[in-house]
Structure formats: structure tokens, C-alpha cells
Amino acid sequence: SRLRLEARNSMSISHPNIANTQDSGEEDGIGWIIMELVDGYPLTDYLRGGTRIEPEYLLPILVQVAMALGAAARAGVVHRDIKPGNIMLTSDGKVKVMDFGIARALTDSQATMTQTNAVVGTAQYLSPEQARGETVDERSDLYSTGVVLFELLTGRPPFKGDSAVAVAYQHVEQIPPTPSSILSDIPDSLDRVVLKALAKNRDDRYSSATAMLSDLQR
């Protein structure tokens, strides 16, 4: 069921910054899916050892991520697992957002495949509403994008803990530090983008990927 859902959701989106699903089907009871081949590396490769990406190189990457999320939102799809491992940088510098495997169509009446799977995503990048097992929308992906932006700017995530539960709790309860409090060369303008994306209340975040894109471009 999840494979069929992944294929349906990702095939509904066509965008140069999304690794597109090209075909899917089933044979002898075994599901298969054919995805675009991406020649590149996930952003996790650039974070090893606590390294960072300088803002002038990072902003074009985040702009393309926001473009991809905007296209997904227009197709009625929320990714729900935005993290460095799902963002590929190709050999010619383009961004490809990968793995809509746990994405859910906003119009899908089945909010979760089963109630026990209500919390999906990676703890380090979960929005507060995901950590609470609530419904998600485009703004949940923008929160996760804010976490990615924080980590790529500073070389460390905004919250750390001894367990996934401890990290998820911090996403729900604790105010993140400003990136510039960790590295002083980060400008105030980027602090404001990160903190707006990381607002606990989703009504205080960017209302859409397009709105976040506008600030990133500015």
C-alpha cells in the first residue's frame, strides 16, 4: 500500500528539483517503481564531521528546495520527511528532493495508513505537530526545511538529545538558538528566516514555500 501511495504521490508532481517517479506497477504480487537516476550526493555527505556550507553556496540550494516543496504543495502533497539525506546535490549543482515515500496527498481521506504509524519522519527534523502525531500540511515541511537550513549554516542541528524521544520533546517545547549565536558570521537576515521557519505554532511560520522562497531569494 505504501509503495502504491509513493508512486501515486510522486507521479503527480513534475518539477526539475524533484527526483521524479517515471513508472510503477505490479508483477506476480511484487510491486515495482522506476525513479529518475540522480548523479550526485546527499547533503549528509557535506555535514560529516560537523562541517558547514557557507551561506553564499547554501542559499541557492535552499532556494531550489523551496521551489520543489512549492510544486509538491500545488499538487496537494506534503513530503513529511525533509532532511539532508533526502536532498541530493547533482554533479552539475542542481538540487533533487528525493523520497516521497511517506508523503501523503492532502486530499487523501486516510490520514495515516494505520494509527500506530501516525508519527512518521526523522526525529531530528520533525515539526512539533508531527511529534505530537497531529495532521500535517505544507508548513510542516517548511519547519523541517528550517532545521536543515540551521544545520547546514552551523554544522549542528538546533536540538540534540540522547534519544529520538528527547529530541522530539525539544521540538515541541524548546525555543531554538539563533544560528548566529553559534557562528557569529551568520547575518541577522538568515537568523530571521530560520526562526520564522522554526516557529512552534505553524500559524507563525511561513504560510507557504513560495513565501519562504521570497525571503531566501531576497
Ramachandran assignment for 182, one of left (phi > 0), alpha (psi -120 to 50 degrees), beta (any other):
alpha
CA neighbor of 79 nearest in space, from 131, 172, 171, 10: 10
Q: What is the dihedral of CA 41, 18, 186, 193, to 10 degrees?
A: -160
Which grid cell sits at 153? 549554516
Catalytic: which of 23, 28, 45, 81? 81
Ramachandran assignment for 216, one of left (phi > 0), alpha (psi -120 to 50 degrees), beta (any other):
alpha
Running DSSP on this structure, what letter comes out for residue 18?
B
CB under 8 Å to 21, separation ≥6 — which residues? 6, 7, 10, 11, 33, 34, 35, 36, 100
| CB neighbourhood size of 92 (10 A) | 7
Strand blocks (E) in the chain: 21-27, 30-35, 40-42, 77-78, 87-90, 95-97, 104-105
Q: Does 81 qualify as catalytic in the annotation? A: yes
Catalytic site positions: 81
